[in-house]
Amino acid sequence: MEKFITDVLIIGGGLAGERAAVEAAMRGHNVTVLSLIPARRSHSCAAQGGMQAALGNTAKAEGDNIDVHFADTIKGSDWGADQDRVRLFVEAMPWVVRQMDHWGIPWNRVVPGKFTYFNKGQKLEAEDKKEKEGLITQRDFGGVSFWRCAYTADGTGHTLLYTMDSVAAKYGVKVHDRLEVLSLIHDGTNCLGAVARDLRNGTLRAYLAKATVIATGGFGRIYGKSTNAIQNEGTGCVIAMDTGKVPLGNMEAVQFHPTAVVPVWILVTEGCRGDGGYLLDKNDHRFMVDYEPAKQELASRDVVSRRMMQHIRKGLGVDSPYGPHLWLDIRHLGKQHLETKLREVLDICKYFVGVDVITQKIPVLPTQHYSMGGVRTNIDCAVYGLRGLYAAGEAGCWDMHGFNRLGGNSLAETLVTGWIAGSKLSEFIKNEFDVSFSDKVIEEAVAKQQARIDRLVNTKDGNESVYALRTEMENVLLDKVHIFRNGPALEEAVKQLRDLLNRAKKLKLNSDGKWANPEVALALKLPGMIRLALCITYGALKRTESRGSHYREDFPARDDVNWLSRTLAYWKNPDDELPTFEYEKPVITELPPGSRGYGESKVISADKNEGGKK
């Protein structure tokens, strides 16, 4: 066993992880980042559209401010977000965007003069002022009141991640890649680091740290059909949950993005609709005008995805070998616009499905995209349950998104929570850290993981295929825990997933299990992935209301009397077949629950600022 000691351990090499690493390194700490893949290939790189900040530079952003950004975010969350976090976030974002500008991001800029844009199907004209020339410009996105999304064409995540990785190198951050973390090292009170498996040769390593950050991204790949990269399997959530001490927040809140390309499920940015793209049915009818006359294609993602599926249910989808889909039409934006501001969309459609977006429509369907749930933290990004453990980005439930994230607030959150985690853990190390590393605790943590590997490799009585079980799990979620949910389907899903969890105790490898072995890697992860699926499904079954992305057809109203609350899911004992739930009220400081101004708008109201009974 190799042992590594550092001040700060970051699990995850994406944007949140590297931002936390940079902040800690700038404050004088030694920092090591663990990554499944080379950091620049992290899923942050795939984000296209941009990040929200109330700058007000372009003509269509005049009048915007942080208070409007705050209100838009709370409404988007369907009042599930913690408002103190949202206030901190919106106040930070203008300087965060400018800090990234200072570090080298080539933001699109204001060009003075008249320009044309599309709104609600009309081609309109506006004019940017000469005095704004060269300032950071912005585009329209769903669920917002003004153009607020700063962008670099449609490759914003790419430019942000490459820039942040360069800054991390400048400050001496060490990145150890091709490593998968199997567990946290802890003594029941303090997090002391992590056990990782070297994917090159299968050996284990112990990483010891004064503070540890979980920044592993989302868990979308447990759904199978997802816009997430293949490595997004929920590792951070699993290792936190497996401590028995740390809760996961709002796991039933799963976002489905309206425009994944059929049949490859790669995202095309919300910027397509923000720039004026249309959603069409099999008759080339713009159906969002009928469902959402105020916001149309730019309602929040949960609303647009539901409207699309409702329309398909009416028989108005486009038949294909992969099932019915709808069309995204951006042809009218013009060749120059598509080749400059949406050039990545152009390439994705051309190379993956053979569609020329300049002359052809794009086949799209709502697909799992983002997890509002994650490792629950306080406002300082410190995780509930273990000292010295933090979480940032999509892996965490800092909870500025509630039950629906607005487009452009994800890249933004990675930078804000990365900054907060890095700064607060530095304060913790300097002022509070008082733990000695126990050899016994470390050795037991490593031995436990080695024993898991040995059982998998040496078992003679297993009869279950890891790949077959994974496919069954994916199908349960896709069939019964999707955009529309109901009690009987969720009950059946819980039953099926519990059965899969028991069957996962009897895995049989088809390989020898040695060296760089992907079958062993999946076999080690699969039980945790099924437990995550149970947290989502059982949480959705218990939540008898509809809020944001969680839509119960048998309980179609948002119930602020009983369910103005956040789910906290614990897996307290390894042999448990279901999570244990607790509930806490969201922090409501400024904007009491009310109408979102779009969507179904069925609400059972609570009195003033009181949270739910749960």
Quote the tokens at residue 228: 């997430």
Q: Which of these is catalytic: 85, 197, 221, 273? A: 273
Distance CA 57, CA 151 (A): 13
Mean pLDDT of the chain, nearest integer: 95
CATH code, domain with 294: 3.90.700.10
Would you say residue 512 has pLDDT above 90?
no
Q: Give percent of the chain above pLDDT 90.
A: 94
Indicate whether 586 belongs to any domain.
Answer: no
Q: Other C-beta atoms within 10 Å of 430: how many?
A: 12
Distance CA 259, CA 605 (A): 32
Distance CA 18, CA 411 (A): 13
Calculate Rg over the CA atoms of the chain.
23
Quote the tokens at residue 423: 């700064």
Looking at residue 609, what is its pLDDT? Answer: 43
Looking at residue 1, what is its pLDDT? Answer: 82
Q: Cβ distance 31 to 13 under 8 Å? A: no
Indicate whether 215 belongs to any domain.
Answer: no
pLDDT tens-digit map of 410-455: 999 999 999 999 999 999 999 999 988 999 999 999 999 999 999 9
Q: Do residues 365 and 446 both lie within one domain?
A: no
pLDDT band at 350 (very low <50, low <70, confident <90, very high): very high
Q: Do residues 599 and 485 both lie within one domain?
A: yes
Least confident range from 78-87, 244-253, 459-468: namely 459-468
Looking at residue 486, what is its pLDDT? Answer: 98
Q: Do residues 457 and 600 both lie within one domain?
A: yes
Contacting residues for 43 by C-beta, under 8 A, at least 6 apart: 14, 217, 218, 228, 229, 231, 232
Distance CA 242, CA 214 (A): 14
pLDDT band at 610 (very low <50, low <70, confident <90, very high): very low
Pick from 236, 559, 262, 520: nearest CA to 371: 236
Distance CA 223, CA 474 (A): 5
Domain stops at, among 369, 399, 417: 369
Per DSSP bridges, beta strands 174-177 and 278-280 are unpaired
Q: Do residues 358 and 492 both lie within one domain?
A: no
- Tell me the residue range of the domain where 309 lies: 254-369
Helix (H, G, I), strand (E, B) or coil at 558: strand
* pLDDT (mean) for 502-506: 96
Q: Do residues 599 and 478 both lie within one domain?
A: yes
Location of structure tokens 């789910």: 567
Indicate if 273 belongs to the active site: yes
Q: Give percent of the chain above pLDDT 70.
A: 99
* pLDDT (mean) for 11-37: 97
Distance CA 569, CA 153 (A): 39
pLDDT tens-digit map of 212-231: 999 999 999 999 899 999 99
Indicate whether 530 belongs to any domain.
Answer: yes
Domain stops at, among 369, 394, 424: 369
Q: Do residues 365 and 486 both lie within one domain?
A: no
Looking at residue 607, what is its pLDDT? Answer: 65
Would you say residue 375 has pLDDT above 90?
yes
Q: Do residues 360 and 501 both lie within one domain?
A: no
Indicate if 285 belongs to the active site: no
Looking at residue 513, what is its pLDDT? Answer: 85
CATH code, domain with 527: 1.20.58.100
Q: Cβ distance 55 to 31 under 8 Å? A: no
Q: Which of these is catalytic: 69, 257, 405, 482? A: 257
Q: In 226-377, which ranges are continuous DSSP H helix?
A: 235-241, 271-274, 288-291, 301-311, 335-340, 343-353
Q: Do residues 354 and 453 both lie within one domain?
A: no
What are the backbone dihedrals phi and psi of residue 181, each rounded to the nearest 5 degrees, phi first? -75, 130
- Rounded to two decimals, the pTM is 0.96
Quote the number of domains for the chain.
2
Pick from 217, 556, 601, 567: nearest CA to 402: 567
Query: Which pairs from 202-205 meet CB under 8 Å and 24+ separation?
Result: 202/453, 202/514, 202/515, 202/516, 202/517, 202/520, 203/1, 203/2, 204/1, 204/2, 204/446, 204/449, 204/450, 204/453, 205/1, 205/2, 205/3, 205/4, 205/179
Quote the tokens at residue 127: 């004019």
Q: Do residues 357 and 451 both lie within one domain?
A: no
Would you say residue 157 has pLDDT above 50?
yes
Distance CA 217, CA 43 (A): 8
Looking at residue 608, what is its pLDDT? Answer: 47
pLDDT tens-digit map of 128-153: 999 999 999 999 999 999 999 999 99
The string over 258-268, giving b where at least 16 C-beta atoms fall within 10 Å of a residue's C-beta and e elsewhere, is: bbbbbeebebb
Distance CA 263, CA 320 (A): 10
Indicate whether 265 belongs to any domain.
Answer: yes
- The upper half-sphere exposure of residue 552, i.e. CA atoms within 13 Å in the direction of its Cβ, equals 24
Q: What is the dihedral of CA 139, 143, 145, 151, to 10 degrees?
A: -20
Query: Which pairs from 556-561 meet CB under 8 Å and 24+ separation?
Result: 556/600, 556/602, 557/602, 557/603, 557/604, 558/78, 558/79, 558/602, 558/603, 558/604, 559/604, 559/612, 560/79, 560/593, 560/603, 560/604, 560/605, 560/606, 560/612, 561/604, 561/605, 561/606, 561/612, 561/613
Q: Do residues 561 and 468 both lie within one domain?
A: yes
Residue 280: which H helix or E strand, with range?
strand 278-280
